[in-house]
Amino acid sequence: MARRLATIARWINKNLPELEAVIERDYVNTDRKLAGTRFVHRGKGRRGNKIIVYKRRNRAPLFSHSAAGTYRSNAEVERWLTEYRERRAEERR
């Protein structure tokens, strides 16, 4: 099971000095249109946290992940982080 977004953000802020991770509240609309009509089926929506990872130097966003999205997992953030660290290690060689 993947770690919580807050735990991942703390780890990024502590161990990767060139990055800054911020946690925000997020909402995803789950309304859907009924095919062939003008009607909309109102969903209840989903609330959750969102992690945004920035480059510290110029505050450019590198990655964003909302846990409120349907079928989204915090494991996606861990995979991105692993790939980022591997790319960074290759660049330093």
pLDDT in tens, 4-54: 999 999 999 999 999 999 999 998 887 777 788 777 777 788 889 999 999
| 52 vs 70, residue with greater confidence | 52
Which residues constitute the domain of residue 52?
5-92
- The pTM for the full model equals 0.80
> Residue 53 in contact with residue 20, Cβ under 8 Å?
yes
Domain count of the chain? 1
Give every CB contact of residue 64 below 8 A, 6+ residues apart in sequence.
50, 51, 52, 53
Q: What pLDDT was estimated at residue 22?
A: 96
| 60 vs 30, residue with greater confidence | 60
**Mean pLDDT in residue range 66-76:** 88
85: pLDDT strictly greater than 80: yes
